[in-house]
Amino acid sequence: MVHIIGNNIATCTQRVLLRLAVLGVTDFTLYSPDVMAGEHKKLPHTAKHPFGLIPVLEDGDFTLYESRAICRYLATKYNGQSKDLIPDCKDLKATALFDQWASVELTDFDAFASELVAQNLFYKWRGLEAIPEVVDLVTKKLSDKLDIFDTLLAKQKYMGGNVFSLIDTFYMPYTEKLFEAGEGELTTSRPNVKAWWDRVTVRATWKLVNVKITG
């Protein structure tokens, strides 16, 4: 049984929980450290994640951190339960394309979406004020990137091609958080990005995870 250390309202933990739901894995445990008290910044947590962040996966005597690495590990470990989520490692070109699209999410979406959500949502939760200049800058950069995504999604149904995959689940938590941060128009104003979002959020596994997070 895998054990997850994380918080279900944290986007990176949500990414892992969504991966487990898509795989149909229910035999796992979740421990939520007291982040507000800084539990994740102290031992014993920092012995598992030296940067003092969440989530962390423990599988027997194996420990892994970074949500995307955890998602890949889970997709491989439980690959027989959902074979389309990651390509066969023997397929060189499919694996290379998978890595390409995974890199795109990290550098061309998350880098800007996460900062915009932090400014407009997370700062508010902490009683802090957003920095207008930063908001304007990351909004412009994310808008430019989403224009390109809109063009790409006119040619393919999903972020990694024409089949729902692990790549899509990388995008979903922060896309949802953009709506919570009052920036949903960045998605809905672009027809192909909106169509992608409609396709992935209608999936039963997303609804299941979202109910657990918001309920």
Q: What is the pLDDT of residue 182?
A: 96
Predicted TM-score of the model (pTM): 0.89
C-alpha 10, offset from chain centre? 10
- pLDDT tens-digit map of 163-200: 999 999 999 999 999 999 999 999 999 999 999 999 99
The Cβ of residue 188 has, within 10 Å, a number of other Cβ atoms equal to 12
Q: What is the pLDDT of residue 215?
A: 44
Q: What is the pLDDT of residue 128?
A: 94
- pLDDT tens-digit map of 1-12: 999 999 988 999
Residues sharing a CB contact under 8 Å with residue 200, sequence separation 6 or more, in sequence order: 158, 164, 168, 172, 206
Q: What is the pLDDT of residue 134?
A: 97
Residues sharing a CB contact under 8 Å with residue 187, sequence separation 6 or more, in sequence order: 146, 175, 178, 179, 193, 194, 197
Q: What is the pLDDT of residue 84?
A: 65
Q: Which residues in the chain come in under a pLDDT of 70?
A: 80-84, 210-215
Distance CA 71, CA 17 (A): 9
Q: What is the pLDDT of residue 80?
A: 66
Q: Which residues of 192-214 are buried (b: 16+ CB within 10 A; e: fewer)?
A: bbeebbeebeebebbeebbeebe
